[in-house]
Amino acid sequence: MAEKFFKYVIVGGGVAAGYAAREFVKLGLKSGELAIISKEAVAPYERPALSKAYLFPEGAARLPGFHVCVGIGGERQLPEWYSEKGIELILSTEVVKAEIASKTLTTAEGTTFKYDTLIIATGSTVIKLSDFGVQGADAKGIFYLREIAEADALVSAIQSKPEGTAVIVGGGYIGLELAAVLRINKYKVKMVYPEPWCMPRLFTADIAAFYEGYYRGKGVEIIKGTVATGFVTDEHENVKIVKLKDGRELEADIVVVGVGGRPLTGLFKGQLEEEKGGIKTDGFFKTSVPDVYAVGDVATFPMKIYGDIRRVEHVDHARKSAAQAVQAIKAKEEGKSFEEYDYLPYFYSRSFDLSWQFYGDNVGKAIIFGDNNPATPKAKFGSYWIKDGRVVGVFLENGTPEENKAIAKVARLKPLVESKEELIKDGLAFASKI
């Protein structure tokens, strides 16, 4: 069987891998030093687009010439970028075995890869309803959304049944974004989730009331406080009915499930220390074994700003953790010292013509500001969270780029901001105007 050697190998070809490659190039990567091994058939791409522009009816993101490849603005890393930089981009190839002690990876085809330094960027995978034994959960027409192939399958299903009926299972950001794109595709849409309001891990009741009101205004039916317990299919094994715990039955041509993910750590079980379900790393994304790093969704790391340990499943962290690991690897090679990761959590979502940004932590007391009436055109409102006399998090709906920069500043633990007035003085001056 073939054996190959690379100075650096990245397992996984998603967001973090793309940004790690970019950082290596910035820091003087030589041709032939880096290989990226990816299960997916396409070059690393901006995964968040899959639940947004990629699914729009006009398919702008899917047309030739418009790529979702990683990179922001004009700096997109199209597939040819990798070959120009002498990076071996090995696609449609799954690593099925990792032997950390001998620095060896084996692919499904039986090729082995040796390396000096390994970066694990395997991301996470979706939790499936079949994992809980939900009856009929493998029926055709039930979709999950993690990889581009799943988005393509969803596009085909939408196109083959125009203006059909969709049920969205799950009230997180994937559920909200999918409900919006399916409405934009002229589907009748029902959302089902067990919690008392949508996005409960981030939204307060006030924020959620705005979103639910807005969605209803767009024709989305919201069914809360219950879960899908089974699916009935037609004679072709296509999903036809979603059965709910409360006894209701909903017709569906398409079901999209967004009920969370779990990190892909399996290859390294028993070889690398884990913490909170992810691969344990330090402030440089170095794992418990020398020369092995883990970045993005799969890594657990010390969150310096809050003094605790976390795993973050957001694109901004995937980009930044990848850059941090590569900078740390290069600093180590050059015998230079390097600063630990100091990350301020940042997350955003877009649906319909809504767009929010959140910086920091949503703990402590939440205080709403602005106009959160869903009937107000271009409503601008937000919430900030105060803990121990400090602002620890700020959410803003419909902010301008300047306003979003201001909330990032405020969320970085500005001390002793106790009132809205102090918050305004301290950089959030725009709040006084809304």
Ligand X SMILES: Cc1cc2nc3c(=O)[nH]c(=O)nc-3n(C[C@H](O)[C@H](O)[C@H](O)COP(=O)(O)OP(=O)(O)OC[C@H]3O[C@@H](n4cnc5c(N)ncnc54)[C@H](O)[C@@H]3O)c2cc1C
Interacting residues with ligand X (CB under 6 A): 11-17, 37-40, 47-48, 50-51, 94-95, 121-123, 145-147, 174, 264, 267, 296-298, 313-316, 318, 347-349
Residue with smaller CB distance to ligand X, 338 or 348 = 348
| Rounded to 5°, angle at Cα 48 from 72 and 281 | 85
Rounded-to-integer distance, Cα 274 and Cα 120, Å? 13
| Least CB distance to ligand X at residue 417 (A) | 26
Asked if 140 contacts 39 with a C-beta cutoff of 8 angstroms, the reply is no
Among residues 26, 71, 14, the alpha carbon closest in space to that of 326 is found at: 26
- Among left, alpha and beta (phi > 0; psi -120 to 50; other), residue 111 is beta
Measured from the CB atom, the residue of 341 and 369 that comes closer to ligand X is 341
- Of 147 and 403, which CB lies nearer to ligand X in the complex structure? 147
> Least Å distance between CB 424 and ligand X?
27
Q: Is the dihedral of CA 277, 283, 285, 289 positive or negative?
A: negative
Q: Name the residue number minimizing CB distance to ligand X.
A: 14
Query: Which two tokens mark 255?
Result: 């079901």
Whether the Cβ atoms of residue 381 and residue 372 lie closer than 8 Å to each other: yes
Question: Whole-number minimum distance, CB 284 to ligand X, in Å?
Answer: 17
β-sheet with 274-275: strand ranges across? 274-275, 278-280, 299-303, 308-311
CB of 360 to ligand X, least distance (A): 14
Place of tokens 């199209």: 78
CB of 432 to ligand X, least distance (A): 29
Nearer to ligand X, 25 or 145 (CB): 145
Nearer to ligand X, 13 or 370 (CB): 13
Query: Which one, 97 or 405, has the nearer CB to ligand X?
Result: 97
Cβ proximity to ligand X, 146 vs 240, nearer residue: 146
Least Å from the CB of residue 18 to ligand X: 8
Cβ–Cβ under 8 Å, residues 161 and 134: no
**Residue 36: CB minimum distance to ligand X, A:** 9
Three-state secondary structure call for residue 365: strand
